[in-house]
Structure 1
Amino acid sequence: MSFEKPSVVIDNGSFNIKAGFSCDNHPVTIFRTLVGRPNYLNGGYGREYYDVYIGDEAAAKVVNLEVDHPVVRGKIEHWDNMERIWHHVFYRELKVAPEDRAVILACGATSTMSEKVKCCEIFFETLNCPALCIQSQPVLSMYGSGLTTGICVDIGYDTTDIVPIFEGSIVHYAHMQTGIAGFQISDYIKKSLGERNLLKEIRSLEDIEDIKNQCLYATPNCAMSIRKQIYKLPSGDEIDVSNEAFMAVEQIFQPGILNDNNKSCLPLHDAVVTAALKCDAELRSELCEAIVICGGMSTVPGINERLRIELQGAIDNPVTVLTSSEPYAVAWLGGATFAGLPDAEKIWIKKKQFEDHGEKIIKNKFM
């Protein structure tokens, strides 16, 4: 659908939100999906003036704030705070008026129809957007990789979703989750450092995320020797995180390696194989030739190769694990790509259509 101005693409992540314009090849802004209010209010909002902190600003002041995560396990659970974040995206980050821009909204693989209806109500009735298109993150991740058929492996902050995609549509009955994601990795690092009496050196949870970004890696073989990894604290001191850097990622492929609690979780490669086997036999080879890894944890060095090796040892079909220079933003890039497709016109909902038909047209377009 052609619009006078480039559409806005928003990817709602549990940890980060990505937003930008469909004419660009990278998001304009990436910030934490957080809303913080002063903790001295004790929930008594509305009785006095107070500042609301959004995104990275809330993360930086987390000690003094009551922090809320609007998106939990891929689902929007706190709508007032999500609306604040969207408002912040338009007016503070992108500096555009929402009534001038059509929007592509990327939501989680498990997003329900009632959630999509609520999104439409906010974007049309509150933000006054002229048009809206809601697509799932796994589908857009495939578009961002230049494909319409394959398996999306989204290793996010609080959920890891393995979603087969056929011709741009989710194969819902084959959707798998492993139970191990970025949150569990952070929790392990925090506990491990605590057992070594090093947690007092960590000033905030942001330091844990920094360790994840700088030090984690995946080995092609778990029998390989552990690589020495040193993390420099904000104070200037250095700590050895070699064991944490290795074991944290190894949990993704061997969930039961540390304790019994993770034995109910699925190894990543087993979940991918199970998702493929749930699909029709004639589709499996095509699906296995286009495995797209995305999400925050997909940036860990070596994780693509490790998954390829594990899958190759588990199935007979040739396996291709696609790489991306920016896997954390591949769903956003897919939204920008999708906006320019001629066939996408039939999936947009215009504000007038929503006013005339309401929930009925949402079910017709976004089922």
Structure 2
Amino acid sequence: MPINLVEDDIACVVIDNGSGMCKAGFAGDDAPRAVFPAVTGRPRYDIVMAGMGSKDCYIGDEAQSHRGVLSLNYPVEHGVVNNWDDMEKIWHHTFYNELRVAPEDHPVLLTEAPLNPKYNREQMTQIMFETFNVPGFYVSIQAVLSLYGAGKTTGIVFDSGDGVSHIVPIYEAEQEIVRDIKENLCYVAMDFEQELCASAQSSALEKSYELPDGQVITIGNERFRCPEVLFQPSFTVSFNQTLSCLRSSLTSKRVSLFVGDLRRQSSVWLNETILNSGVGIHETT
């Protein structure tokens, strides 16, 4: 039976971390309520800053306005957090100064760049739960949210940000399906070259796999070619071949070109409520 960890009428806080800008708001809104530079600034000269108050760290627009006497630091570099102390200060500023909410009262959806290191996710989770005491937390890739916001579940998202650009192919499939295929059909060949020759001369190695929608796919020498990469790193598919396969797949599915909303800062908010009720803020027992 599913148990809600938070009340249904409490809005989820959405924070879109970027290398240059931080955007924050609430699930269900059409646009973020706060957009400010993701930068921190510390005084270069104590005497100069004496008349500006006793703050030892300035954040966002305030840091930019005093950049002449501050040492600026961007905690997110090329989409990856490299300074957790400053990142925590930006999140604190987001909750208490920009949105003016108590983080312990709202679940949080945080965005990340593709290929974000596992350690970074663990750090995000630890800070959100242990420092801000949020009742629920979920991390999602920015490109995925943008695609959902466009009303699509399959496509290629070109996300060009301040510090990094990504081209992310997304297909309406389940990771569990791929894992099941890997665990049940893939194997390591004792003699790779001999197995490759055998697969070319006979279809005995081919296996069928039924997808959840009833479609049946046939897997041949991919069963042992994929695991072989672990033992022969040079045995990889070239980038051009990958693009060719991806292009033919999208063409066969008649995927149309969709130009996203020019308001880039709002793309994450357009349909993030799909994830607002996801496993990140609900627990099943």
Q: Which amino acid aligns with 1:156?
A: G
The answer to whether 1:39 aligns with 2:44 is yes
Residue 58 of structure 1 contacts residue 65 of structure 1 at CA under 8 Å; is this kept in 2? yes
Query: How does the TM-score come out when normalised to structure 1?
Result: 0.52
Structure 1 residue matching 2:140: 3-state secondary structure: strand
Structure 2 residue matching 1:36: 3-state secondary structure: strand
Q: 2:142 aligns with which of 137, 143, 150?
A: 137
Greater shift in the superposed pair: 326-335 or 105-114: 326-335
Deviation (angstroms), 1:140:
0.8
Structure 1 partner of 2:190: none
The answer to whether 1:104 aligns with 2:109 is yes
Q: 2:275 aligns with which of 338, 341, 361?
A: 338
Q: Which amino acid aligns with 2:155?
A: G
Distance 1:152 1:63, change over 3 A: same
Structure 1 residue matching 2:110: 3-state secondary structure: strand
Structure 2 partner of 1:186: none
Structure 2 residue matching 1:66: 3-state secondary structure: strand
Deviation (angstroms), 1:139:
0.7
Deviation (angstroms), 1:80:
0.4
Structure 1 partner of 2:202: none
The answer to whether 1:77 aligns with 2:14 is no
The answer to whether 1:13 aligns with 2:21 is no
In structure 2, the gaps of 5 or more residues are 47-53, 176-238
Deviation (angstroms), 1:60:
1.3
Tell me the distance in 1 between the aligned counterparts of 2:152 and 2:67. Answer: 40
Structure 2 partner of 1:221: none
Residue 151 of structure 1 contacts residue 288 of structure 1 at CA under 8 Å; is this kept in 2? no
Tell me the distance in 2 between the aligned counterparts of 1:31 and 1:321. Answer: 28
Tell me the distance in 1 between the aligned counterparts of 2:61 and 2:245. Answer: 40
CA offset digits 1:38-94 (Å, max 9, x no partner): 0126xxxxxxx6431101111111111011101000101100000001011110011
Q: 2:125 aligns with which of 112, 116, 120?
A: 120
Residue 151 of structure 1 contacts residue 165 of structure 1 at CA under 8 Å; is this kept in 2? yes
The equivalences for 1:102-251 within 5 A come to: 102-167=107-172
Tell me the distance in 1 between the aligned counterparts of 2:94 and 2:241. Answer: 38
Structure 2 residue matching 1:154: 3-state secondary structure: strand
Distance 1:97 1:348, change over 3 A: same
The answer to whether 1:60 aligns with 2:65 is yes
The answer to whether 1:282 aligns with 2:219 is no
Structure 1 residue matching 2:278: 3-state secondary structure: helix
Deviation (angstroms), 1:16:
0.6
Tell me the distance in 2 between the aligned counterparts of 1:136 and 1:126. Answer: 23
Distance 1:10 1:101, change over 3 A: same
Structure 2 partner of 1:183: none
Residue 138 of structure 1 contacts residue 152 of structure 1 at CA under 8 Å; is this kept in 2? yes
Structure 1 residue matching 2:56: 3-state secondary structure: coil
Distance 1:143 1:57, change over 3 A: same
Residue 11 of structure 1 contacts residue 332 of structure 1 at CA under 8 Å; is this kept in 2? no
Deviation (angstroms), 1:276:
4.3
Tell me the distance in 2 between the aligned counterparts of 1:275 and 1:156. Answer: 24
Distance 1:345 1:158, change over 3 A: closer
Query: How does the TM-score come out when normalised to structure 2?
Result: 0.66
Structure 2 residue matching 1:279: 3-state secondary structure: helix
Tell me the distance in 2 between the aligned counterparts of 1:3 and 1:285. Answer: 41
Residue 28 of structure 2 contacts residue 271 of structure 2 at CA under 8 Å; is this kept in 1? no
Distance 1:142 1:154, change over 3 A: same
CA RMSD of aligned residues (A): 2.8
Structure 2 residue matching 1:346: 3-state secondary structure: coil
How many corresponding residue pairs? Answer: 210
Tell me the distance in 2 between the aligned counterparts of 1:64 and 1:345. Answer: 45
Residue 38 of structure 1 contacts residue 65 of structure 1 at CA under 8 Å; is this kept in 2? yes
Residue 133 of structure 1 contacts residue 349 of structure 1 at CA under 8 Å; is this kept in 2? no
Tell me the distance in 1 between the aligned counterparts of 2:77 and 2:85. Answer: 14
- Larger Rg computed on CA atoms: 2
Report percent identity of matched pairs: 36
In structure 1, the gaps of 5 or more residues are 42-48, 171-270, 290-319, 354-367
Whose helix fraction is larger, Structure 1's or Structure 2's?
Answer: 1
Residue 28 of structure 2 contacts residue 269 of structure 2 at CA under 8 Å; is this kept in 1? no
